[in-house]
Structure 1
Amino acid sequence: MWKSASDEERRAQAGIGTLILFVAMVLVAVVAAGVLVNTAGVLQSQAEVTGQESTAQIANTLSVYTAVGTINEDGNIEEVDMTVSLGPGSNSIDLGDIIIDYLGPSEHAHIKSEHVAVDGSEGTILEDSSDRGTITLDLEEKVQPLEPGDDAVITIYTHDGAQISQELTVPTSLNGEEGETIRL
């Protein structure tokens, strides 16, 4: 009736089972390797983007050369003109896209730059390290004018997220007449 298998037939069945297990393990290893390679590629892309954004925040800055205030009829500073240029190694910066944060003696505000000029032209983009731009802030429009002895901090944020702070210190006595400028 039933015939028992010989040793040679049993070895062949064990060999086929082992081969099936080996092929299954190789397939699992290939899938795992594919997932690891894909994950490594995604992480590398994210790291490159993060590095570029970080570099832009650090490198794309402005340098403030001068800050002068215009004296109004009350003997206070009503307008501030800041001369700026690109920081070392900086890419071009559009002064029309900057955000200005003002922290005065008694108030805090975001001030829009009224007049922005680059090298006397109407353009707002600093492209070269030799370009100079003037940012004019009208303090009376948003905040109290600066009085003699006042201190304020102007922080400029570029489109890339870099920030530049400039402290303004008004002398304790303003001896100038209306319309004259004084270095802050």
Structure 2
Amino acid sequence: MRESDSNDARSDRGQVGIGTLIIFVAMVLVAAIAAAVLLSVAGSLQTQAEATGAESTAQVSDSLDVYTAVGTIEDDNEIPTLEITVGPGAGSSAIDLEEATINYVGPGGQTYLVLDDEDITVDGDDGTVLESGSDRATLSIDVEDAVDRPLEADDDASVTIMTGQGVQTTTAITVPSTLENEGSSVRL
């Protein structure tokens, strides 16, 4: 073998080695970029999952319990106003009833109502927030004003209360078949 031939072979091997090294470095860079993208996507998915979990927990735990629905019999044996007593469910955080929306469906039609602080009484206070599990609030719903028809004997209605947290509580209203004694209250 000649000396120049062996130098050519060595230089060819060196060039192949450098090419392989360049390809290897490029693959490492591509893998690093892909890993960075995967970590970024995983981080954003984790943040979104945590937010969704917190919202779901609030919807489950921030419940509203309905205790009573009462109407006062007025002229012509009609009930123009409902009074619904509610309280926070077990484990609920504070619920501001002024942020609640009422969906009333009854014989006079359907309507959405937003109560103001004059229609909400929390344990005799002027506030509208249920803060502890022992708090109770009375919601006054003027049915006659809302749908132009008071409740009458044998009427059925439905009241759905949706809090600002998105929790819905529905209660069925059934008026007794006889309404007597104007001025008296009747449980619905």
Query: Shorter chain as normaliser: what TM range?
Result: over 0.9
Cα deviation for residue 142 of structure 1 reads: 1.3
* Structure 2 match to 1:153: 158
Report whether the alignment pairs 1:55 with 2:57: yes
Q: TM-score, normalised by structure 2?
A: 0.92
1:102 touches 1:109 (CA, 8 Å); kept in 2?
Answer: yes
1:102 corresponds, among 99, 104, 121, to 104
In the alignment of these two chains, the number of paired residues is 181
Cα deviation for residue 111 of structure 1 reads: 2.6
1:7-59 alpha-carbon deviations (Å, 9 max, x no partner): 11111111111111100000000000000000000111111111111222222
Secondary structure of the structure 2 residue equivalent to 1:123 = coil
* Structure 1 match to 2:77: 75
Secondary structure of the structure 1 residue equivalent to 2:80 = strand
2:164 & 2:110 partners in 1: Cα distance? 21
* Structure 2 match to 1:165: 170
1:108-163 alpha-carbon deviations (Å, 9 max, x no partner): 11133351011101100000001111101111111210000000000000111110
1:125 & 1:159 partners in 2: Cα distance? 11
* Structure 2 match to 1:8: 10
Aligned CA-pair RMSD: 1.3
1:115 corresponds, among 103, 119, 135, to 119
Structure 1 unaligned residues grouped into runs of 5+: none
2:98 touches 2:114 (CA, 8 Å); kept in 1?
Answer: no
Cα deviation for residue 106 of structure 1 reads: 4.3
Matches within 5 A, 1:165-184: 165-177=170-182, 179-184=183-188
1:149 touches 1:169 (CA, 8 Å); kept in 2?
Answer: yes
Secondary structure of the structure 2 residue equivalent to 1:130 = coil
1:112 touches 1:137 (CA, 8 Å); kept in 2?
Answer: no
One-letter code of the match for 1:182? V
Cα deviation for residue 88 of structure 1 reads: 1.5
2:68 touches 2:86 (CA, 8 Å); kept in 1?
Answer: yes
* Structure 2 match to 1:18: 20
Q: TM-score, normalised by structure 1?
A: 0.94
Residue identity over aligned pairs, in percent, reads 50
Runs of 4 or more, structure 1, over 6 Å off, are none
Cα deviation for residue 87 of structure 1 reads: 0.8
